[in-house]
Amino acid sequence: MSFTDLRGLIETLRREGDLAVIETQVDPYLELAEIHRRVIDEGGPALLFTNVKGSPFPVVTNLFGTIRRVDLAFGPRPEAFMKQVVGAMDRLLPPTPKALWGERSLIWDAMKVGLKEVPASSAPVLGAFKKDRPLEGLPVLTSWQLDGGPFVTLPLVYTEHPEHRKQHNLGMYRMQIFDHSTTGMHWQIHKGGGFHYHEAEKRGEALPVSVFLGGPPALIASAIAPVPEHLPELLLASLITGGKLQVVQDPHGSHRIPAQAEFVMSGSVAPHVRRPEGPFGDHYGYYSWTHDFPVFDVSHMWHRKDAIYPATIVGKPRQEDYYLGDFLQRLLSPAFPLAMPGVKDLWTYAETGFHALAAAVVRESYSREALGTAFRILGEGQLTLTKYLMITDQPVDLANFPQLMETVLERFRPETDLFVFDKTSHDTLDYTGGKLNHGSKAVMLGVGEAIRELPSSYNEGAIDEVTDAQVYCRGCLVVSGASYEQEPELAQRLLSRLRERGTAWPLVILADDATIAAAQTPFLWTVFTRFNPADDIYAETKLRRHHLGYDLPIVIDARMKPGYPDELVPREDIVKLVDSKWKTYFKA
């Protein structure tokens, strides 16, 4: 099933009993977010809040908070179509009449991809127009108590290259509401909208911007998809939907806008204007701090007469972005070998905020081919911000991280297979590098035949200053002791003690709490959001011919460090408020 607008999905969820309608008045300041978080933690339904304090508009959240709802929203057709396209490449090159006839169904489906302009009378989004104080009355959410203000959390930000108008970008960049006509524009260093703004700013021009809320669910998916810079996201949305995307010319703006959207904000971002934006509790599970970002001046807003405001809440995994990211990786993975020859499979981990950790299964047809492919991955689009990349040539399920870790550790040669690169770019939301957008990267290879057997249980006795030791998977031990503030040199001492006893464990993680070893989500979230490779990887090293070779064991210090942003924790009085009102939210 494909949906041409948001309310088609909402009504389907209502019929299937997977939508909870909350009629009790709910405050968009903290209360609504706390309800959402509890429901998604329990794998509960989508939520439609019909009585939001201070706004005439209902709010829908948690539309994509389970695998089932994501599959329902997009169906099996997009993945099947993508696999069919990739499989047809060999058969259609070179194109022959016979080959074209054999792929006629694919060609027919491809002809359905595109945009279809409709008249204003057929565009529900043009039902109401607001020019004076256009943002007033929107039920914008404040999700965490230290947030700098309310934020639009599901904005679909549309821009066009100032010189090449056919090159467009649709991205999802959080928007802090400053007042009734201005917002922040959180364009990060790797975002297409930011590239367009950079070009406009060089010309001294304001960049026209349109922000869509709602519309076909495929718009949301395409906006966050890690596609190559010049691949049009609107066409990807059309592909996912299975039909042409209906658009209408904004009567008062420069862009065509989705006819089925719920809201569209139109305006521009002036050159060389910045304003403090943040803090914001983001999908890394921590607050991102206040920094200067461009400012979006909203000239007017269109919306449906009965518009529904879509929103999401981000925080510690797993949230909605986890399930959407899983779908997008399944959708796009067949195309990875086309974009990056030598890559058989690729996965980024939502549990780490995506950019902190990636892994790939690659071809190793000659010695060190895998290393060259690793460099190719680190040079591709948003993957350039990957902090830690693990590579193997073995057929493993990359989503199963313990299996990947064991496969790599069995084959990992520390003297040749670990590379740490300092003074590189970091994701804007990753503060482990000590400076905004700056940090380091590591590549870890594990290819060929296994060279060691990995221990599976810890029986090496007590370790000085270690209070707990837990096995995460074969070969990977998690230990805890004093905090970094109390004992910043503990990781180095731990390495020395492990080497003295000739430990059989090739990788040891020093964490604040060793019980993170119990499951994949807490392990990945804690470890990979709390260390910077150049600062926090400890091992004995030898320098030879400009190459730094490592000896086992490898110790990673994944404790919280001074200067890291605060972990997201709900405010106690809001927790008590939601506790007291819980039965009124869900009367049935």
Question: How far apart (Å, rounded) are the C-alpha atoms in residues 107 and 112?
Answer: 9
How far is the CA of 413 from the CAs of 196, 337, 419, 473, in angstroms?
A: 43, 26, 11, 19
Question: How far apart (Å, rounded) are the C-alpha atoms in residues 26 and 521?
Answer: 31
**Contacts for 582 with CB less than 8 Å, ≥ 6 apart:** none
Question: How far apart (Å, rounded) are the C-alpha atoms in residues 419 and 440?
Answer: 11
DSSP per-residue string spanning 312-334: ----SSSSHHHHHHHHHHHHHGG
Q: Where does 482-571 have alpha helices with state H?
A: 490-500, 520-528, 533-536
CA pseudo-torsion sign 288, 293, 297, 300: negative
Expressed in angstroms, the distance from the first to the final Cα of the chain is 29
Query: From start to end of 410-465, where are the E strands?
Result: 418-425, 438-446
Active-site residue (options: 5, 250, 282, 536) = 282
The SS3 call for residue 572 is helix
- What the block records as the tokens of 204 is 């001294």
Question: How far apart (Å, rounded) are the C-alpha atoms in residues 317 and 499?
Answer: 35
- Residues 36, 579: contact at Cβ < 8 Å? no
The secondary structure of the chain in percent helix, strand, coil, rounded to multiples of 5, reads 30, 25, 40
Q: Which of 560, 513, 319, 522 is nearest to 401 (CA)?
A: 522
Q: Which of 181, 175, 176 is nearest to 136 (CA)?
A: 181
| Residue 530, amino acid | R
Q: Which of 2, 248, 264 is nearest to 112 (CA)?
A: 2
**Contacts for 280 with CB less than 8 Å, ≥ 6 apart:** 144, 147, 148, 151, 174, 176, 186, 287, 288
Length of the chain: 588
Task: Based on the residue annotation, tell me whether 536 is a catalytic residue of this protein.
Answer: no
Q: Which of 170, 186, 162 is nearest to 274 (CA)?
A: 186
Q: What is the dihedral of CA 71, 75, 76, 80, to 10 degrees?
A: -130
**Contacts for 28 with CB less than 8 Å, ≥ 6 apart:** 52, 53, 54, 55, 59, 139, 140, 141, 142, 150
User: What is the separation of C-alpha 54 from the centre of its chain, rounded to a whole number of angstroms?
Assistant: 31
- Residues 253, 160: contact at Cβ < 8 Å? no
- What the block records as the tokens of 459 is 């029986």
Q: What is the dihedral of CA 491, 492, 496, 502, to 10 degrees?
A: 50
- Residues 503, 548: contact at Cβ < 8 Å? no
Task: Provide the annotated active-site residues.
Answer: 282
